[in-house]
Structure 1
Amino acid sequence: MKVLFLTLALSLFSILQAQESSSSEEQFEGTYFVKAIVADNEFPGKKKPKDMSPLTVTQLSDGNLEVKFTSNKYGRCKEIKLKLEKTSQPGIFSADEGKRQVLIEKTSVKDHWIILCEGELHGMQIRIAKLVGPDAEDNPKAFEEYKKFVSLKGFKQEKIDFPIQVEACTPEHD
């Protein structure tokens, strides 16, 4: 569960970072689907998530970002909420008390962003790059830009995965 949470958290942090780096006419805010994901190392512990719910990104009044998504593990739905704190560098956010950095970069395709998360996960350094967009549909142009980006950052293109898009579940309140 921690691996899934951290993976999703890193994704959310990345998304939030993109919002700050965008122009005023197109901000990184709203609902986004993870269309592709790649990591430079194997996910510690359990396997990486095969399915993902949409991410909801909200820009806070202080310039930080809040990212929310749900996780359905062992039949229990949990809402995960992350805060990405803006840094002095445009497009870069920090999370988890500075243990992770998230770079959010706009693609040339409307409402498509690349999120690069770097940091520690279960005592290991890991980098994860995600392509997110406003719907679950494939966009070949955005994917080509993503492939070029991950290649320039040293990721292996053959490790790119395409998560199954699932609807957000409704958390149970105990």
Structure 2
Amino acid sequence: MKVLFLTIALSLFSILQAEESTSSGKVWEGTYHINAVVADKEIPEDKRPKSLAPITFTLLNDGNLEASLTFRNNGKCQEIKAKLEKTDIPNEFTVDEGRHHVSIIKTSVSDSWILFSESEFDGKQIKLAKLLGPDTEVNPEALKEYQEFIKEKGFNEERIISPKQEEACIPEHA
């Protein structure tokens, strides 16, 4: 399950760079909730996220971003942090030395994004599409755009996971 959280988290790290590159240089940091996730492959029930905490993005001095996600694993709070690397292609990014590729699609809804990623999960290539928003409740208009997007990309709508929203926990080392 930790690998799935990592895969989801890594693909989400690019959201702030998209805003930076699309809004006249405006840079913002913030917290986003994962309102929906879909994969192109069946994810076993025991590896699906039952709930997800929000993801926090922080601008680094070098112009890249750091994203952090906390989650509970065996009763302990764990944190994943990753650096989001800019690429030469607008709205496309890499994480983990290029092993994860992410594209960001802005919806017509303020602060709602579709993140499309290609990475590896359990030794196999996997494509994921996630809907992020500023609130725990999904915006119906953003969800409609997300559903249209995943249809266009060939995802099975029946595989959409709407994870329960949980509060961020505080790791022991913090």
TM-score by length of 2: 0.89
CA contact (8 A) 2:4 2:121 kept: no
Q: 1:44 to 1:20 in 2, by over 3 A?
A: farther
In structure 1, the residue matched to 2:134 is 134
Summarize deviations over 1:113-151 as a string: whole Å, max 9, x none. 111110122310001110001111221100011111111
Count residues in correspondence: 174
In structure 2, the residue matched to 1:158 is 158
- Please list every run of 5 or more consecutive structure 1 residues that lacks an aligned counterpart in the other structure: none
Partner Cα separation in structure 2 for residue 85 and residue 105 of structure 1: 17
RMSD: 2.2
Partner Cα separation in structure 1 for residue 144 and residue 66 of structure 2: 28
1:41 aligns with 2:41: yes
Partner Cα separation in structure 2 for residue 72 and residue 30 of structure 1: 21
Spell out structure 1 runs of 4+ moving beyond 6 A: none
In structure 1, the residue matched to 2:18 is 18
Summarize deviations over 1:89-118 as a string: whole Å, max 9, x none. 000110111111011111110010111110
In structure 2, the residue matched to 1:54 is 54
CA contact (8 A) 1:53 1:70 kept: yes
- Please list every run of 5 or more consecutive structure 2 residues that lacks an aligned counterpart in the other structure: none
In structure 2, the residue matched to 1:111 is 111
Partner Cα separation in structure 2 for residue 140 and residue 38 of structure 1: 17
Partner Cα separation in structure 1 for residue 28 and residue 135 of structure 2: 14
Q: 1:28 to 1:160 in 2, by over 3 A?
A: farther
Identity %: 57
Partner Cα separation in structure 2 for residue 63 and residue 101 of structure 1: 18
The residue type paired with residue 81 of structure 2 is K
TM-score by length of 1: 0.89
